Each structure stands twice: as C-alpha cells, then as structure tokens.
C-alpha cells in the first residue's frame, strides 16, 4: 500500500541499527504504526509487538497482521454459506478456509451504496461535485463487499478475528484501483490505468508467532497506561504539517462504515479528533517530551528525516536530558505524492536513539535485562575472523592471542559508563582499546612490543575508529608511563599465560598448527610470557598492584586467563594460582569469574586412543575489585 512515510525501504537500516547497538529485549512498541511495515518486520524477528495508530484503517491492518498469529477458520460462516471446508493435509495450507471466503466476496455482484454514490463519477453525476476516485464498477464492488462483511458481523457469523481479517483484505485491495497519485486528498483529472483494474481481494499473509500481541487505536501517550515493560519503543511520527487523516479519508470511511457527513470536492469526512500534535513544530516537541517523560521504555528509537519540522537541536535536547543518546543516518529515495504523480526525492533518514538509564545505576549504562544477560556465567561466542565482524583480524591475527573487540566491549560496557577510562597494561594489538572506541570510552594501553602497537594503529586506520592512548613500555614501570593524577575506572587485561606459548609444540598441538617452534609474544626477558610460573605470578601481581594504584575505589579489575594442561601431578589451574596471588594485594577482593568459550575452535582428539586429554577452548575472566 502506498502510504506517506512508509518505512518499507528502511527496514534493513532499522534492523541493522538495533543489532549493531546490541539493543536487547523482547517487546517492540510502534506508536505510529501506519500500514504496519515496521511492526510486521519485528514480529517476524520474534518480538512481542505493541502497536497503535490514530487512524482506524491502520488499526484494522494491525488487528490482522500484528494481533493474529494464525489464519481464521470461518467455521460458522462456511456452514452458513454451505461451503465445505477443504480438509487440511500436507498438500493444503492452513489458509484454505480464508481463501474460500475471499473467493466468495470476489464473486459478489456490485451494489450502489455509499462509495458508489459519493466517490464515483456515475454516482455523483448531477451533484455539486463529480468525483472520480473509483470507476462505477469498482465502487459498487467495494460497496457490496463492505456491506456483506458488516451483514455477517451483525448476524454473528464472524468472530472478531474473522471480521478484521476480511476488512483488512478489502482495505489492502482498494489502493490498487483508486484513481489517485498516492493519497486520497485529491483524485486525478484523467483516469489512471490502474483504476480500470477489477477490484480483487487477496488473502492477507498471517505472520506466525508464539507471542501475544496488542494493538490500539488511541493516542500514543495513552498506550503507556495500557501496557507495561516496553523494551524498544519505536516512533515514526508525521514529519510535516500535513495531517494523515484527510489524506486517507476514504479508507477511514470504508473501515468504519459509519455513513459520515462529507463535504467539498474531495468528499472529506471530519477528522478533528484524529489530528496529530506532530504536525506542528511546537506541539510536536511538547508531545515528544511527554512520551519520553511518561513512556515506560528501556530503548527509544525515533525515525525522522532532514525535512522534518521539529528542530534537531530541540530533539537532541530532550534526548540528552533523558539518557544516553546517539544519532545515525542514511540516504534514501522516498516517493512524494503530488498532483503530477509520484516523484522521487532524496532525503536523509535519521535514527535518534535514546537509552533510558536508571539514575541509581552507578556502575554502567545498562538496563536491567542487559545487566542480567551479562551475568550469565558462560559466554559462548562464534565471532567470525572475516569481513566486518573480523575487525581487521588479518592484522590483529599476527598477535598469538588477539581478543575479539566484540568480547572486550561486553566487559567495557558492563563495568564502565560512557566517557570513563579503561586501562589495559597488556594491550597487545588493542582488543580492549578498540572496544573503548566502539563504546565511547577512553582507553589507555601499554605493551612491550612496538610491533603490536603499530599493528593496533593500522587496525584503527582500517576500521576508521579513533585511536586511544597506546604506550610502548613495561607495565612494571607504569608509574613512569602514566601522567601524574591519572585515574582509571576499570582495568581490563589479557596477560600472557606464563610460559604457555614460549615452549615448543608437540603432539596434536603441533599437528593442529603445523608449527613446532615456540611462538612467544616477544623475546623480552621481562615478558611475562617467557617466565616460569612463580616468576610469572610475582610479576603479574606487581603489575596489577601498581595499576590498581590508579584505579578508583570500588573500581573493578578483569583478568583473562587460560589454564594449562595438568602436568607432573599438578592441576596447573592457572586461574586458581592467579586468584590466590592477586588476593595478596591490599584492598583487592575476588568477586567471581565468567567463562568465555570460543565455539569457533576446532576440536582435536588429544590423547586418542590412550588417555583423556581435554580440549581447553575456554578461558576464565577473573573479576576483582579495589575496595578502598
């Protein structure tokens, strides 16, 4: 259906934005649903949908596409019409009964009722205004179908779902035979060729879903009193002063079938109670402010383009006062309806994103559901090393153990707020620092290797992300590397795991890589990756202790570690040794751990066929806190 501001061509843009921002939740609310393109799309993605619109014909469409999860059966009506329903088998669809009723309606003889008498040239001949919205035949067909649907309803032959299903099918069919350029605010002087097509109803496509969806025909602000717990609130209000109701007045009349008083050359019905506040700049900003103030949402996405009448600075002022704000935009071609036909106009569509922040949350900017998600003790990932998701892995992979920036971002987002400072005393090729750039945090990284830091800078350039502070040096001398007065909010690091990589590869480990020689991080004597366990633990303790001097009170420390294989009767659980050693640091407490499992790793038959030897693709992330 042609509809002002329809987002059909922007669905991918909106979905990608939600995924890239890692916006989580189950409930998606669309307060300006229109034809339902956005709501339908997110229903297909598995969300529980809440939708509303002031226009009644839009409400009818939502009752079909959003609220209904299966095709209606029409059992009473089929029996009344003496139509034997086709038994559902593997070779028939569950829409078979609906097809029979649609077929029946398509075969009705036309009658001369409201649409014919007011919107066809034959019906308005001799009146003050001759109107050419529909040919006489199609106008009579609309009348016949609409009258029959209403008759069935009054005779209790249709339940609510069945009634709206048929009404929705009619509303969808009407625009294909209307003699208009796009809206019903005017008809064309000359007949458009589509107006001569025979009005034909199609079976609406029902989106299967296990969720219970709710739709409303009320002002968006009033929806908040009807529902609770909106995860994603999507707003696509009118962009200009042109009210929607008069542009779709005929569809409103067909939907309501209320025999309204009409006037003027267009046969307009009254629409005073359907005016949108967003068709005025001042009242639009006020209404947006009310939605932000009263809406019980976690995330808000406002879709608006650069032709919109609400000033961007006013929108951003409202958003910035309410929480964390971001804006992204995309060029696209829209269709603008006018008297000369449809014209393409290039505009920039903007998505204004507001994340509602609990003012009592002093740790991060996450919602309750996002907080819970992070607390999952095991994080299984399938990060690709290719394409956009690889984050220039062809460069970062030159480091023996690069951490995925997406993974590090999860920890940065949980343990800090926007613009706070993260320190990584073993930065490698900068997984932590890239995460800081992605999350709008300030990162400080230190590494012995100039080669790795140079690689990090190349990665930033390729990814077009801001470089963070990267320092070449030994973190044992961090007091000489950081500026006096530096305060950090979080320490996130992935140190060498003792001498794991400085030993020659043997057995399946050798077969796995085809490399037998050792692959240490560097050849520096002071590199923790070249130290025996006791020296490694002492050096790690020294570096973490010195780093913690820059950490704010109640700030957290997250340390990645991978255990070694048991050897010579020792368990070699490096994470346990590290926990014990770091607890020797004054004012440091152990708060627990998470396990990261990289599911992209290939399993190998270590020990086969003689003994059990584990594949260790998981790593511990040890969480500590500075208490004072």
Give me the pLDDT at residue 528, please.
86
Chain mean position to CA 157: 41
CB 6 within 8 A of CB 37: yes
Domain boundaries defined on the chain: 1-69+208-238+276-356, 72-206+267-273, 368-499+531-626
Tell me the CATH number for domain 368-499+531-626.
3.40.50.150
Same fold, 1-69+208-238+276-356 and 368-499+531-626: yes
CB 182 within 8 A of CB 86: no
Tell me the CATH number for domain 1-69+208-238+276-356.
3.40.50.150
CB 228 within 8 A of CB 211: no
pTM equals 0.72
Give me the pLDDT at residue 2, please.
59
Give pLDDT < 50 ranges for the chain. 337-344, 501-502, 505, 508-509
* Upper half-sphere CA count for residue 37 (Cβ side, 13 Å): 16
For residue 597, give the nearest of 431, 379, 437 by alpha carbon: 379
Give me the pLDDT at residue 92, please.
57
Per-residue tokens: 233 = 């609130």
Per-residue tokens: 2 = 């042609």
CA 424, CA 559: separation in Å to the nearest integer? Answer: 10
CB 202 within 8 A of CB 173: yes
The CA–CA distances, whole Å, from 240 to 66, 174, 561 equal 27, 26, 56
CB 233 within 8 A of CB 38: no
CA 598, CA 601: separation in Å to the nearest integer? Answer: 6
Give me the pLDDT at residue 435, please.
98
CA 167, CA 150: separation in Å to the nearest integer? Answer: 9
CA 136, CA 116: separation in Å to the nearest integer? Answer: 6
Give me the pLDDT at residue 410, please.
97
CA 497, CA 506: separation in Å to the nearest integer? Answer: 18
CA 63, CA 168: separation in Å to the nearest integer? Answer: 8
CB 281 within 8 A of CB 310: yes
* DSSP assignments along 448-494, one per residue: S-HHHHHHHHHHHHHHT----EEEES-GGGHHHHSPTT--EEEEEE-
Q: Who's near 49: CB < 8 A, 6+ residues apart? A: 27, 28, 29, 30, 39, 42, 43, 66, 211, 213, 214, 215
Q: What share of the chain is helix, strand, coil (3-state, %, to 5)?
A: 35, 20, 45
């Amino acid at each position: 259906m042609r509809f002002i501001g329809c987002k059909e061509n922007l669905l991918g843009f909106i979905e990608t934005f939600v995924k890239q921002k890692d916006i989580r939740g189950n409930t998606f609310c669309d307060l300006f649903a229109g034809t339902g393109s956005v709501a339908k799309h997110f229903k297909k993605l598995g969300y529980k949908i809440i939708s509303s619109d002031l226009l009644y014909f839009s409400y009818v469409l939502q009752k079909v596409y959003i609220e209904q999860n299966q095709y209606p059966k029409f059992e009473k009506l089929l029996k009344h019409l003496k139509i034997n329903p086709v038994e559902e088998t593997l070779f028939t669809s569950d829409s078979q009964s609906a097809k029979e009723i649609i077929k029946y309606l398509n075969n009705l003889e036309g009658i001369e009722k409201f649409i014919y008498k007011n919107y066809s040239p034959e019906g308005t001949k001799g009146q003050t205004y001759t109107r050419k919205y529909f040919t006489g035949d199609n106008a009579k067909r609309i009348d016949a179908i609409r009258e029959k649907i209403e008759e069935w309803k009054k005779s209790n032959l249709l339940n609510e779902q069945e009634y709206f299903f048929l009404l929705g099918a009619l509303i969808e069919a009407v625009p294909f035979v209307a003699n208009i350029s796009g809206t019903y605010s005017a008809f064309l002087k000359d007949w458009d060729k589509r107006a001569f097509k025979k009005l034909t109803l199609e079976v609406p496509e029902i989106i299967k879903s296990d969720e219970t969806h709710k739709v409303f025909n009320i002002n968006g602000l009033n929806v908040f009193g009807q529902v609770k717990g909106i995860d994603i609130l999507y707003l696509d209000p009118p962009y200009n002063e042109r009210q929607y109701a008069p542009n779709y007045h005929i569809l409103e009349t067909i939907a309501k079938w209320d025999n309204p008083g009409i006037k003027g050359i267009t046969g307009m019905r009254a629409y005073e109670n359907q005016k949108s506040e967003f068709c005025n700049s001042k009242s639009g900003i006020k209404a947006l402010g009310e939605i932000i103030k009263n809406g019980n949402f976690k995330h808000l996405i406002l879709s608006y383009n650069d032709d919109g009448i609400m000033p961007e600075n006013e929108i951003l002022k409202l958003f910035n006062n309410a929480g964390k704000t971001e804006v992204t935009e995309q060029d696209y071609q829209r269709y603008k309806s006018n008297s000369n036909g449809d014209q393409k106009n290039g505009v920039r569509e903007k998505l204004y994103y507001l994340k509602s922040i609990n003012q009592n949350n002093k740790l991060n900017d996450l919602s309750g559901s996002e907080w819970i998600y992070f607390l999952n003790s095991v994080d299984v990932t399938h990060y690709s090393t290719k394409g956009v998701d690889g984050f220039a892995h062809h460069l970062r992979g030159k480091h023996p153990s690069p951490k995925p920036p997406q993974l590090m971002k999860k920890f940065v987002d949980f343990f800090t707020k926007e613009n706070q400072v993260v320190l990584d005393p073993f930065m490698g090729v900068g997984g932590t620092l890239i995460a800081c750039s992605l999350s709008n945090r300030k990162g400080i990284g230190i590494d012995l290797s100039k080669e790795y830091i140079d690689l990090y800078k190349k990665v930033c350039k390729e990814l077009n992300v801001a470089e963070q502070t990267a320092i070449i040096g030994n973190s044992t001398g961090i007091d000489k590397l950081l500026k006096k007065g530096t305060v950090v909010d979080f320490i996130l690091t992935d140190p060498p795991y003792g001498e794991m990589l400085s030993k020659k590869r043997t057995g399946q480990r050798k077969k796995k890589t085809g490399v037998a020689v050792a692959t240490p991080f560097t050849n520096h004597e002071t590199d923790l990756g070249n130290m025996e366990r006791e020296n490694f633990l002492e050096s790690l303790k020294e570096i973490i202790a010195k780093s913690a001097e820059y950490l704010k009170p109640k700030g957290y420390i997250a340390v990645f570690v991978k255990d070694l294989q048991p050897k010579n009767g020792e368990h070699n659980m490096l994470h346990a040794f590290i926990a014990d050693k770091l607890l020797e640091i004054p004012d440091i407490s152990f708060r627990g751990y998470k396990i990261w499992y990289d599911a992209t790793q290939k399993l190998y038959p270590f020990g086969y066929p003689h003994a059990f030897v584990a594949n260790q693709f998981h790593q511990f992330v040890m969480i500590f806190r500075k208490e004072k």
